[in-house]
Structure formats: structure tokens, C-alpha cells
Chains A and B, each alone.
Chain A
């Protein structure tokens, strides 16, 4: 079955540690995205990548980093510089083009930093 996987579902870290969230897709999509979801707020874009070896900052990129070495994979690192890292993180992908192609979302990772 085609889709997006994110692992793990729940992640716990101590303050000051970097942590990497996994996102893998087998939809053959070029574009991939990372969103953050906080209570009472909609999803906000952290980073996006249109193609392998290229990525761009979204609206709230500070304290995060990404890589895109393979088409299928777009891992997100939450660094110790991120002031409020506890949140729900969603990865998405989309086929390219200017049309109304929808974004497909993964199941998300809940990160708790104490």
C-alpha cells in the first residue's frame, strides 16, 4: 500500500537534546513538507522540499533542520535551539505541478520534551 509513515508515534526527550523525526513515503512524490500542530492553532509549515537535495524554510523554521538525500525520505531534526519543541509533528507529501493535487499526510509524531 502507498502512503506516508512517521516513526515513532510518541517520542520523549530531555531538554537540550537534539531529536530526529522520521518521515518516509512510497508515493513517488517529489514534494514533501513538515508541519507543526499546537493546541488551538492550525498546522504551521516548518520546512518543505520540492526535490531531492533541495529544501526551503517555512514559516517557523527556527530551531529545526532537515535533509533530503532521497526522494522517499525527509527527516526533521528538532534541535536544542527550539524553545518550545513539545508539539505534534505532521509530515506530508504531494505530487508536483500547479494543479489542485492534495497533500497526503502521515499519522504524525507526538514529541514531548521535559
Chain B
């Protein structure tokens, strides 16, 4: 079974600065997907960024980028030019490519989450 670990329960950053959230995972699979989800105080889960393991290039979405180290099984999220609206709980998640029957049932395995505070 896969596991996902976020070792930073809480992080803080000054507005306009850069912060990096850590995530490590354990798997025996060679192909998979990794995601970062944001959960603001409204508790609505919002996809921030995704990474396909077979792609070596790190994914980027505007101010959000990842550092994907496949050999080290590490998947960190970097938020540049932090904004007050970035304050939220951030979850790292893992998904296998293939499940039972040869198709992915899409189960996500989540880390414990990191609460990000942004100071003005």
C-alpha cells in the first residue's frame, strides 16, 4: 500500500515571499500521479497542481511549482509571491495509474496536511 507523509503540520510565510511545503511518499509502483490540493477555510478542496511520474519535467501553474524527485520519492510544493488568499490547508496526494480490472478507480491517498499561514 502507498503512504504519503507531510512532515510539516504548520508553516508560515510573509506576503510576497516564497514558501516550500514538503511531501514524501512510499510506493513500489513505477508510474503514478501526484497532486497538491488546497483546502481554504470554506473546506472546499481545490486542485493546485498535478505531476505525472513518468514526466521528468516539474509541473508549474502560475505561482505554484513542484520539485519532483522520483528517486527520493519527494514531491514538494513551492508557492512564489505568496498572497493572503493562499492561506489554507494543503494536502499532498498520490494516485496509482492502474487499479483492479486494468483501469484506475482513481483512489487518492492523502498526507496529513500542512496548514499555511500568510502574514501581511
Contacts and interface: CB of A to CB of B under 8 A. Distances in A.
Interface of A: 31, 33, 35, 40-45, 48, 50, 56, 58, 88, 90, 92, 94, 96-98, 100-103, 105, 107-108
A42 B105 contact: no
Contacts of B56: none
B30 interface: no
Contact of A43 (B47, B91, B103): B91
B7 interface: no
A108 B40 CA distance: 13
Contacts of B6: 42
B50 A42 contact: no
Contact of A100 (B9, B33, B91, B113): B33
Interface of B: 4, 6, 9, 33, 35, 42-45, 47, 50, 52, 91, 93, 95, 97-98, 103-108, 110-113
A107 B42 CA distance: 8
20 contacts: A31-B105, A33-B107, A42-B91, A43-B110, A45-B107, A45-B108, A48-B106, A48-B107, A50-B105, A88-B43, A94-B106, A97-B103, A98-B98, A100-B33, A102-B35, A103-B47, A103-B106, A105-B45, A108-B43, A108-B44
A88 B108 CA distance: 17
B106 A42 contact: no
A1 B50 CA distance: 24
Contacts of A50: 103, 105
Nearest to A93: B106
Contacts of B50: 100, 102
